[in-house]
Chain A
Protein backbone atom coordinates (compact mmCIF):
# COMPACT_ATOMS: atom_id res chain seq x y z
CA UNK A 1 0.00 0.00 0.00
CA UNK A 2 1.32 3.43 -0.98
CA UNK A 3 -1.04 5.70 0.83
CA UNK A 4 -3.71 5.35 3.49
CA UNK A 5 -6.16 8.12 4.32
CA UNK A 6 -8.22 7.41 7.39
CA UNK A 7 -11.45 9.21 8.35
CA UNK A 8 -10.52 12.54 6.80
CA UNK A 9 -12.77 15.47 7.68
CA UNK A 10 -12.06 18.98 6.41
CA UNK A 11 -13.86 22.09 7.62
CA UNK A 12 -13.67 25.65 6.35
CA UNK A 13 -15.71 27.74 8.77
CA UNK A 14 -19.25 26.36 8.49
CA UNK A 15 -18.44 24.40 5.33
CA UNK A 16 -17.54 20.72 5.52
CA UNK A 17 -16.25 19.82 2.06
CA UNK A 18 -15.08 16.38 3.26
CA UNK A 19 -16.60 14.18 5.94
CA UNK A 20 -15.16 10.87 7.18
CA UNK A 21 -13.43 10.00 3.94
CA UNK A 22 -11.25 6.90 4.03
CA UNK A 23 -9.32 5.47 1.13
CA UNK A 24 -6.17 3.51 0.58
CA UNK A 25 -4.15 3.44 -2.60
CA UNK A 26 -2.31 0.38 -3.83
CA UNK A 27 0.58 0.18 -6.23
CA UNK A 28 -0.33 0.22 -9.92
CA UNK A 29 -3.90 1.47 -9.46
CA UNK A 30 -5.40 4.08 -11.74
CA UNK A 31 -8.04 5.86 -9.66
CA UNK A 32 -10.60 8.23 -11.14
CA UNK A 33 -12.01 10.67 -8.60
CA UNK A 34 -15.38 11.94 -9.80
CA UNK A 35 -18.37 13.77 -8.37
CA UNK A 36 -20.43 16.90 -8.94
CA UNK A 37 -19.02 20.42 -8.70
CA UNK A 38 -18.20 21.37 -5.14
CA UNK A 39 -18.13 17.71 -4.04
CA UNK A 40 -14.71 18.10 -2.43
CA UNK A 41 -12.65 16.39 -5.15
CA UNK A 42 -9.96 19.03 -5.30
CA UNK A 43 -10.01 19.36 -1.51
CA UNK A 44 -9.33 15.64 -1.14
CA UNK A 45 -6.48 15.90 -3.64
CA UNK A 46 -5.01 18.82 -1.69
CA UNK A 47 -5.26 16.79 1.52
CA UNK A 48 -3.43 13.90 -0.14
CA UNK A 49 -0.77 16.36 -1.34
CA UNK A 50 -0.29 17.76 2.16
CA UNK A 51 -1.46 21.25 1.14
CA UNK A 52 -4.59 21.14 3.33
CA UNK A 53 -4.51 19.89 6.91
CA UNK A 54 -7.60 17.85 7.76
CA UNK A 55 -9.58 18.74 10.88
CA UNK A 56 -9.65 15.11 11.93
CA UNK A 57 -8.25 11.89 10.54
CA UNK A 58 -4.77 11.20 9.30
CA UNK A 59 -2.84 10.12 6.24
CA UNK A 60 0.06 7.73 6.18
CA UNK A 61 2.38 7.36 3.23
CA UNK A 62 5.03 4.85 2.51
CA UNK A 63 8.06 6.76 1.28
CA UNK A 64 6.36 7.20 -2.10
CA UNK A 65 7.35 10.28 -4.09
CA UNK A 66 4.43 12.27 -5.49
CA UNK A 67 4.20 13.93 -8.89
CA UNK A 68 1.55 16.64 -9.19
CA UNK A 69 -0.15 18.03 -12.28
CA UNK A 70 -2.19 21.10 -11.25
CA UNK A 71 -5.26 22.49 -12.96
CA UNK A 72 -4.31 24.21 -16.17
CA UNK A 73 -5.71 27.57 -15.08
CA UNK A 74 -3.17 27.63 -12.26
CA UNK A 75 -0.20 27.09 -14.53
CA UNK A 76 2.26 29.75 -15.40
CA UNK A 77 0.71 32.86 -16.91
CA UNK A 78 3.42 35.34 -16.10
CA UNK A 79 4.88 38.28 -17.97
CA UNK A 80 8.27 36.56 -17.78
CA UNK A 81 8.77 33.86 -20.43
CA UNK A 82 9.88 30.45 -19.23
CA UNK A 83 11.14 27.82 -21.67
CA UNK A 84 9.66 24.33 -21.73
CA UNK A 85 13.01 22.93 -20.62
CA UNK A 86 13.13 25.36 -17.67
CA UNK A 87 9.65 24.27 -16.61
CA UNK A 88 10.50 20.57 -16.64
CA UNK A 89 13.89 21.27 -15.07
CA UNK A 90 12.02 22.51 -11.98
CA UNK A 91 11.04 18.93 -11.28
CA UNK A 92 14.29 17.26 -12.39
CA UNK A 93 17.68 16.85 -10.79
CA UNK A 94 19.49 17.97 -13.98
CA UNK A 95 18.89 19.03 -17.58
CA UNK A 96 19.49 15.52 -18.94
CA UNK A 97 16.73 14.11 -16.73
CA UNK A 98 14.44 16.96 -17.84
CA UNK A 99 15.07 16.21 -21.52
CA UNK A 100 14.47 12.52 -20.94
CA UNK A 101 11.12 13.29 -19.28
CA UNK A 102 10.18 15.49 -22.26
CA UNK A 103 10.99 12.61 -24.63
CA UNK A 104 8.56 10.40 -22.77
CA UNK A 105 5.67 12.70 -23.71
CA UNK A 106 7.10 13.36 -27.21
CA UNK A 107 7.72 17.02 -26.43
CA UNK A 108 11.54 17.12 -26.53
CA UNK A 109 11.59 19.12 -29.78
CA UNK A 110 9.73 21.91 -27.91
CA UNK A 111 12.41 22.26 -25.20
CA UNK A 112 13.62 25.79 -26.13
CA UNK A 113 10.12 27.19 -26.80
CA UNK A 114 8.42 29.51 -24.32
CA UNK A 115 5.87 27.53 -22.31
CA UNK A 116 3.09 30.07 -22.90
CA UNK A 117 3.38 29.70 -26.70
CA UNK A 118 2.22 26.06 -26.53
CA UNK A 119 -1.37 24.89 -27.01
CA UNK A 120 -3.35 23.77 -23.97
CA UNK A 121 -2.80 20.10 -24.79
CA UNK A 122 0.94 20.60 -25.24
CA UNK A 123 1.15 22.51 -21.93
CA UNK A 124 -0.50 19.60 -20.15
CA UNK A 125 1.98 17.15 -21.66
CA UNK A 126 4.81 19.36 -20.42
CA UNK A 127 3.16 19.43 -16.98
CA UNK A 128 3.17 15.61 -17.02
CA UNK A 129 6.85 15.63 -18.01
CA UNK A 130 7.61 18.00 -15.11
CA UNK A 131 5.88 15.59 -12.72
CA UNK A 132 7.64 12.55 -14.24
CA UNK A 133 11.03 14.24 -14.02
CA UNK A 134 10.92 13.89 -10.24
CA UNK A 135 10.68 10.09 -10.64
CA UNK A 136 7.46 9.80 -8.67
CA UNK A 137 5.66 6.64 -7.60
CA UNK A 138 2.25 8.30 -7.60
CA UNK A 139 0.91 10.86 -10.08
CA UNK A 140 -1.88 13.17 -8.88
CA UNK A 141 -3.73 15.08 -11.57
CA UNK A 142 -6.35 17.77 -10.99
CA UNK A 143 -8.84 18.11 -13.89
CA UNK A 144 -5.99 17.74 -16.39
CA UNK A 145 -8.06 17.93 -19.58
CA UNK A 146 -10.25 20.92 -18.74
CA UNK A 147 -10.24 23.46 -21.55
CA UNK A 148 -8.25 21.46 -24.09
CA UNK A 149 -9.64 20.19 -27.40
CA UNK A 150 -10.94 16.67 -27.83
CA UNK A 151 -8.09 15.34 -29.99
CA UNK A 152 -5.55 16.51 -27.41
CA UNK A 153 -7.64 14.96 -24.64
CA UNK A 154 -7.41 11.57 -26.37
CA UNK A 155 -3.64 11.96 -26.78
CA UNK A 156 -3.39 12.88 -23.14
CA UNK A 157 -5.41 9.85 -22.03
CA UNK A 158 -3.19 7.62 -24.20
CA UNK A 159 -0.15 8.96 -22.37
CA UNK A 160 -1.79 8.17 -19.01
CA UNK A 161 -2.68 4.66 -20.20
CA UNK A 162 0.96 4.14 -21.22
CA UNK A 163 2.19 5.36 -17.82
CA UNK A 164 -0.15 3.01 -16.01
CA UNK A 165 1.22 0.18 -18.16
CA UNK A 166 4.70 1.13 -16.95
CA UNK A 167 3.60 0.64 -13.35
CA UNK A 168 2.81 4.18 -12.25
CA UNK A 169 0.06 4.67 -9.71
CA UNK A 170 -2.29 7.44 -10.86
CA UNK A 171 -5.03 9.41 -9.14
CA UNK A 172 -6.97 11.73 -11.43
CA UNK A 173 -9.70 14.19 -10.49
CA UNK A 174 -12.04 14.69 -13.43
CA UNK A 175 -15.59 15.64 -14.32
CA UNK A 176 -15.34 13.80 -17.63
CA UNK A 177 -17.17 10.70 -16.33
CA UNK A 178 -17.25 8.76 -19.62
CA UNK A 179 -13.51 9.16 -20.17
CA UNK A 180 -12.80 8.16 -16.58
CA UNK A 181 -14.89 5.00 -16.81
CA UNK A 182 -13.01 3.93 -19.97
CA UNK A 183 -9.62 4.67 -18.51
CA UNK A 184 -9.32 3.77 -14.86
CA UNK A 185 -9.08 0.59 -12.81
CA UNK A 186 -11.00 2.03 -9.88
CA UNK A 187 -13.63 4.73 -9.53
CA UNK A 188 -14.20 6.79 -6.42
CA UNK A 189 -17.35 8.88 -6.53
CA UNK A 190 -17.31 11.65 -3.97
CA UNK A 191 -19.87 14.08 -2.68
CA UNK A 192 -18.65 15.18 0.73
CA UNK A 193 -18.43 11.49 1.59
CA UNK A 194 -17.50 8.55 -0.60
CA UNK A 195 -20.61 7.27 -2.42
CA UNK A 196 -18.94 4.61 -4.52
CA UNK A 197 -15.51 3.01 -4.46
CA UNK A 198 -14.94 0.11 -6.80
CA UNK A 199 -14.49 -1.18 -10.34
CA UNK A 200 -15.61 1.07 -13.21
CA UNK A 201 -17.61 -1.85 -14.70
CA UNK A 202 -19.91 -1.90 -11.70
CA UNK A 203 -20.29 1.84 -11.38
CA UNK A 204 -23.89 2.67 -12.24
CA UNK A 205 -23.86 6.26 -13.39
CA UNK A 206 -27.65 6.44 -13.06
CA UNK A 207 -27.51 5.46 -9.45
CA UNK A 208 -24.82 7.89 -8.26
CA UNK A 209 -24.37 10.78 -10.62
CA UNK A 210 -27.72 11.52 -12.32
CA UNK A 211 -29.31 11.60 -8.90
CA UNK A 212 -26.94 14.33 -7.87
CA UNK A 213 -27.22 16.21 -11.10
CA UNK A 214 -31.02 15.79 -11.14
CA UNK A 215 -31.25 17.30 -7.71
CA UNK A 216 -29.46 20.36 -9.02
CA UNK A 217 -31.70 20.44 -12.11
CA UNK A 218 -34.83 20.23 -9.99
CA UNK A 219 -33.67 23.15 -7.90
CA UNK A 220 -33.06 25.14 -11.04
CA UNK A 221 -36.51 24.30 -12.44
CA UNK A 222 -38.14 25.15 -9.17
CA UNK A 223 -36.42 28.50 -9.23
CA UNK A 224 -37.56 29.17 -12.79
CA UNK A 225 -41.16 28.26 -11.95
CA UNK A 226 -41.30 30.54 -8.97
CA UNK A 227 -39.86 33.31 -11.06
CA UNK A 228 -42.43 32.69 -13.83
CA UNK A 229 -45.33 32.77 -11.41
CA UNK A 230 -44.18 36.03 -9.93
CA UNK A 231 -44.11 37.51 -13.40
CA UNK A 232 -47.57 36.15 -14.06
CA UNK A 233 -49.01 37.76 -10.95
CA UNK A 234 -47.47 41.08 -11.81
Chain B
Protein backbone atom coordinates (compact mmCIF):
# COMPACT_ATOMS: atom_id res chain seq x y z
CA UNK B 1 0.00 0.00 0.00
CA UNK B 2 1.43 3.38 -0.93
CA UNK B 3 2.09 5.86 1.85
CA UNK B 4 -0.57 8.27 0.54
CA UNK B 5 -3.28 5.60 0.80
CA UNK B 6 -1.99 4.69 4.27
CA UNK B 7 -2.14 8.36 5.24
CA UNK B 8 -5.74 8.68 4.03
CA UNK B 9 -6.74 5.51 5.92
CA UNK B 10 -5.06 6.82 9.08
CA UNK B 11 -6.76 10.20 8.66
CA UNK B 12 -10.16 8.56 8.32
CA UNK B 13 -9.43 6.28 11.29
CA UNK B 14 -8.46 9.23 13.51
CA UNK B 15 -11.58 11.08 12.39
CA UNK B 16 -13.70 8.07 13.38
CA UNK B 17 -11.94 7.79 16.75
CA UNK B 18 -12.57 11.48 17.50
CA UNK B 19 -16.23 11.15 16.45
CA UNK B 20 -16.59 8.08 18.68
CA UNK B 21 -14.86 9.73 21.60
CA UNK B 22 -17.14 12.71 21.34
CA UNK B 23 -20.48 11.17 20.53
CA UNK B 24 -20.64 7.63 21.84
CA UNK B 25 -22.32 7.93 25.22
CA UNK B 26 -21.14 4.51 26.46
CA UNK B 27 -17.44 5.34 26.24
CA UNK B 28 -15.85 6.37 29.58
CA UNK B 29 -15.24 10.10 29.45
CA UNK B 30 -11.68 9.77 30.77
CA UNK B 31 -10.62 7.53 27.91
CA UNK B 32 -8.75 9.43 25.19
CA UNK B 33 -8.74 7.25 22.10
CA UNK B 34 -6.43 9.53 20.12
CA UNK B 35 -3.86 9.57 22.92
CA UNK B 36 -4.04 5.76 23.20
CA UNK B 37 -3.53 5.43 19.43
CA UNK B 38 -0.51 7.76 19.47
CA UNK B 39 1.25 5.84 22.25
CA UNK B 40 0.36 2.40 20.85
CA UNK B 41 1.72 3.35 17.42
CA UNK B 42 4.89 4.59 19.04
CA UNK B 43 5.33 1.45 21.19
CA UNK B 44 4.76 -0.73 18.12
CA UNK B 45 7.64 0.96 16.35
CA UNK B 46 5.60 3.08 13.92
CA UNK B 47 7.25 6.25 15.11
CA UNK B 48 6.51 8.48 12.11
CA UNK B 49 2.83 7.41 12.11
CA UNK B 50 2.66 8.22 15.83
CA UNK B 51 3.91 11.77 15.15
CA UNK B 52 1.41 12.18 12.36
CA UNK B 53 -1.42 10.89 14.55
CA UNK B 54 -0.42 13.31 17.32
CA UNK B 55 -0.59 16.25 14.87
CA UNK B 56 -3.81 15.27 13.07
CA UNK B 57 -5.49 13.91 16.22
CA UNK B 58 -4.55 17.06 18.12
CA UNK B 59 -6.06 19.14 15.35
CA UNK B 60 -9.33 17.16 15.42
CA UNK B 61 -9.51 17.39 19.23
CA UNK B 62 -8.86 21.13 19.05
CA UNK B 63 -11.70 21.54 16.56
CA UNK B 64 -14.24 20.34 19.13
CA UNK B 65 -12.77 22.05 22.14
CA UNK B 66 -13.76 25.10 24.15
CA UNK B 67 -10.08 25.63 24.96
CA UNK B 68 -7.78 27.73 22.80
CA UNK B 69 -6.87 25.97 19.50
CA UNK B 70 -3.53 24.24 19.87
CA UNK B 71 -3.94 22.97 23.43
CA UNK B 72 -4.47 19.32 22.50
CA UNK B 73 -2.07 19.45 19.56
CA UNK B 74 0.76 20.85 21.71
CA UNK B 75 -0.03 18.50 24.60
CA UNK B 76 0.04 15.42 22.37
CA UNK B 77 3.20 16.45 20.52
CA UNK B 78 5.07 17.44 23.71
CA UNK B 79 3.99 14.20 25.43
CA UNK B 80 5.31 12.22 22.50
CA UNK B 81 8.65 14.07 22.64
CA UNK B 82 9.07 13.16 26.33
CA UNK B 83 7.92 9.54 25.82
CA UNK B 84 10.30 9.27 22.85
CA UNK B 85 13.24 10.39 25.04
CA UNK B 86 12.33 7.98 27.87
CA UNK B 87 11.73 5.08 25.48
CA UNK B 88 15.15 5.35 23.89
CA UNK B 89 16.98 6.08 27.14
CA UNK B 90 15.73 2.92 28.87
CA UNK B 91 15.49 -0.23 26.84
CA UNK B 92 11.80 -1.08 27.29
CA UNK B 93 10.86 -4.62 26.35
CA UNK B 94 8.83 -6.33 29.10
CA UNK B 95 5.11 -6.03 29.72
CA UNK B 96 5.62 -4.38 33.11
CA UNK B 97 7.81 -1.71 31.58
CA UNK B 98 5.23 -1.03 28.87
CA UNK B 99 2.53 -0.64 31.50
CA UNK B 100 4.73 1.66 33.58
CA UNK B 101 5.57 3.81 30.55
CA UNK B 102 1.88 3.83 29.61
CA UNK B 103 1.06 5.19 33.06
CA UNK B 104 3.90 7.70 32.78
CA UNK B 105 2.84 8.88 29.34
CA UNK B 106 -0.75 9.41 30.55
CA UNK B 107 0.60 11.48 33.44
CA UNK B 108 2.86 13.49 31.09
CA UNK B 109 -0.10 14.15 28.75
CA UNK B 110 -2.23 15.43 31.63
CA UNK B 111 0.63 17.59 32.94
CA UNK B 112 1.05 19.06 29.46
CA UNK B 113 -2.67 19.88 29.21
CA UNK B 114 -2.49 21.52 32.64
CA UNK B 115 0.67 23.43 31.72
CA UNK B 116 -0.65 24.76 28.40
CA UNK B 117 -4.03 25.67 29.87
CA UNK B 118 -2.24 27.71 32.57
CA UNK B 119 0.17 29.19 30.01
CA UNK B 120 -2.68 30.35 27.74
CA UNK B 121 -4.49 31.72 30.78
CA UNK B 122 -1.44 33.62 32.06
CA UNK B 123 -0.76 35.01 28.59
CA UNK B 124 -4.45 36.07 28.49
CA UNK B 125 -5.16 34.05 25.35
CA UNK B 126 -7.87 32.05 27.07
CA UNK B 127 -10.31 32.39 29.98
CA UNK B 128 -10.34 28.72 30.81
CA UNK B 129 -8.03 27.39 33.45
CA UNK B 130 -8.14 23.93 34.97
CA UNK B 131 -9.01 23.94 38.67
CA UNK B 132 -6.89 21.69 40.86
CA UNK B 133 -9.33 20.22 43.36
CA UNK B 134 -10.07 16.79 44.83
CA UNK B 135 -12.09 15.91 41.79
CA UNK B 136 -9.18 16.71 39.46
CA UNK B 137 -6.80 14.36 41.30
CA UNK B 138 -9.34 11.56 41.28
CA UNK B 139 -9.94 12.21 37.59
CA UNK B 140 -6.18 12.17 36.90
CA UNK B 141 -5.68 8.78 38.56
CA UNK B 142 -8.66 7.31 36.75
CA UNK B 143 -7.40 8.73 33.42
CA UNK B 144 -3.93 7.25 33.96
CA UNK B 145 -5.15 3.79 34.94
CA UNK B 146 -7.77 3.56 32.19
CA UNK B 147 -5.57 4.80 29.35
CA UNK B 148 -2.47 2.88 30.48
CA UNK B 149 -4.55 -0.32 30.66
CA UNK B 150 -5.82 0.24 27.12
CA UNK B 151 -2.30 0.99 25.86
CA UNK B 152 -0.93 -2.09 27.64
CA UNK B 153 -3.61 -4.48 26.35
CA UNK B 154 -3.52 -3.23 22.75
CA UNK B 155 0.30 -3.11 22.58
CA UNK B 156 0.70 -6.56 24.09
CA UNK B 157 -2.04 -8.01 21.86
CA UNK B 158 -0.50 -6.48 18.74
CA UNK B 159 2.98 -7.70 19.72
CA UNK B 160 1.66 -11.22 20.32
CA UNK B 161 -0.02 -11.27 16.91
CA UNK B 162 3.18 -9.94 15.31
CA UNK B 163 5.23 -12.60 17.13
CA UNK B 164 2.93 -15.43 16.00
CA UNK B 165 3.11 -14.22 12.40
CA UNK B 166 6.89 -14.20 12.53
Q: Do A and B come from one complex?
A: no
Binding site for A on B (CB under 8 A): none
- Contact surface of A with B, Cβ cutoff 8 Å: none
